[in-house]
């Protein structure tokens, strides 16, 4: 019999005896404290936290809605963040992903405002700088650095912060999802996508390595890439709700899902290897 049930049984048995000075009577303060402790534990277990880094009106918004509908507390960080609660009840945090050193502060805010570290982290921010016409490698170095910070360095720092937070959590799935595209698999002859492709390919590399390195701890790192049904790149036709559905599916279970998770709307994971 669990200890708390045994204790309860003993107290009920004692209450049936004539009262004596040696009978134990829990004070109202003790009972209230136990009730508060149980309530707090139950709340934390039933409300995991999802942190979405980069919350645009399409994918970011749909992912937030999907996690909220699945019982998660949701925090969203973006350049247009308000450092307050949204109408939907999400925690909105102002963030600049071109400044990797600011990332730890986002995690600190989530823990302070929502009570614990996030178990699910979605990195959805992205940046690109089109090169001058007919001058592919003439993008100003400052812009190359900016885009690399957003596409590679900031998610790298976020992954480090995710691990630190996961080490404070017990139970539940721990998952880092990077919203990718097919540019880690293919070189597109589209000049405006140059910096974005460099960033996606670089992040795919460290995500794949991280997924293997932390597998023993049960931590998963996923490079999520929505494709068309024939495996072609989705491009600007990305489907927000499809991302939300797949990401929530991953949060429930990543069994059988590799780090490079290509998916198709309404089908989930589909391998195109």
Mean pLDDT score, 237-260:
97
pLDDT band for 223, please (50, 70, 90 cuts). Answer: very high
Comparing 152 with 14, the larger pLDDT belongs to: 152
Q: Is the pLDDT reported for residue 17 higher than 90?
A: no
Residue-level pLDDT at 56: 87
Write down the pLDDT at residue 46.
Answer: 55
pLDDT of 33 > 90? The answer is: no
Mean pLDDT, residues 254-270: 98
pTM of the model: 0.84
Share of the chain above pLDDT 90, in %: 80
Mean pLDDT of 236-256: 97
The alpha carbon of residue 255 and the mean position of all alpha carbons in its chain are separated, in whole angstroms, by: 18
Across the range 170-197, mean pLDDT stands at 96
pLDDT at 26 over 90: no
Q: What is the mean predicted confidence (pLDDT) over 179-188?
A: 96
Calculate mean pLDDT across residues 73-86: 97
- Check 200, 234, 265, 267 and give the catalytic one: 200
- Whether residue 225 contacts residue 180, with contact meaning beta carbons closer than 8 Å, is answered with yes
For the question of residue 200 being annotated catalytic, the response is: yes
CA distances from 227 to 117, 179, 197, 255 (A): 31, 12, 16, 20
pLDDT at 153: 98
The pair of structure tokens assigned to 128 is: 């690109």
What are the beta bridge partners of residue 124? Answer: none
- Condensed to tens digits (0 to 9), the pLDDT of residues 107-147 reads 999 999 999 999 999 999 999 999 999 999 999 999 999 99
Select from 109, 273, 246 the least CA-distant residue to 177. Answer: 246
Output the pLDDT for position 11. Answer: 36
Using CA atoms in the order 174, 100, 112, 224, what is the torsion angle rounded to 10 degrees?
-30
Query: Which stretch of 20-29, 155-164, 191-200 has the lowest confidence by average pLDDT?
Result: 20-29
Contacts of 241 (CB under 8 A, 6+ apart): 62, 66
Q: What is the mean pLDDT of residues 142-156?
A: 98
Is there a contact between 182 and 227 (Cβ–Cβ < 8 Å)?
Answer: yes
Which SS3 state, helix, strand or coil, does residue 62 take?
A: helix
Closest alpha carbon to 204 in 239, 230, 187, 179: 179
Helix (H, G, I), strand (E, B) or coil at 248: helix
Asked whether the predicted pLDDT for residue 213 surpasses 50, the reply is: yes
Q: The dihedral of CA 61, 169, 246, 258: what is its sign?
A: positive
């Amino acid at each position: 019999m669990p200890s708390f049930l045994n204790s309860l049984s003993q107290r009920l048995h004692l209450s049936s005896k004539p009262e004596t000075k040696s009978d134990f009577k829990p004070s109202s303060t003790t009972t209230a404290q136990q009730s508060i402790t149980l309530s707090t534990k139950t709340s934390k277990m039933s409300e995991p936290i999802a942190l979405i880094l980069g919350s645009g009106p399409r994918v970011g918004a749909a992912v937030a809605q999907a996690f909220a509908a699945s019982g998660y507390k949701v925090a969203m960080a973006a350049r247009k963040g308000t450092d307050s609660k949204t109408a939907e009840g999400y925690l909105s945090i102002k963030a600049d992903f071109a400044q990797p050193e600011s990332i730890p502060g986002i995690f600190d805010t989530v823990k302070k405002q929502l009570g614990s570290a996030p178990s699910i982290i979605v990195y959805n921010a992205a940046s690109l700088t089109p090169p001058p016409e007919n001058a592919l490698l003439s993008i100003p170095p400052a812009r190359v650095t900016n885009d690399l910070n957003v596409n590679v360095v900031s998610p790298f720092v976020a992954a480090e912060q995710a691990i630190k937070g996961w080490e404070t959590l017990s139970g539940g799935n721990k998952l880092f999802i990077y919203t990718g595209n097919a540019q880690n698999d293919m070189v597109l002859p589209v000049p405006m996508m140059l910096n974005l492709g460099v960033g996606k390919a670089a992040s795919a590399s460290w995500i794949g390595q991280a997924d293997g390195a932390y597998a023993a701890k049960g931590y998963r790192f996923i490079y999520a890439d929505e494709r068309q049904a024939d495996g072609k790149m989705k491009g600007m036709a990305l489907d927000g709700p499809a991302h939300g559905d797949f990401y929530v599916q991953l949060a429930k279970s990543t069994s059988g899902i590799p780090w490079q998770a290509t998916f198709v709307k309404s089908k989930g994971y589909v391998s195109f290897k």
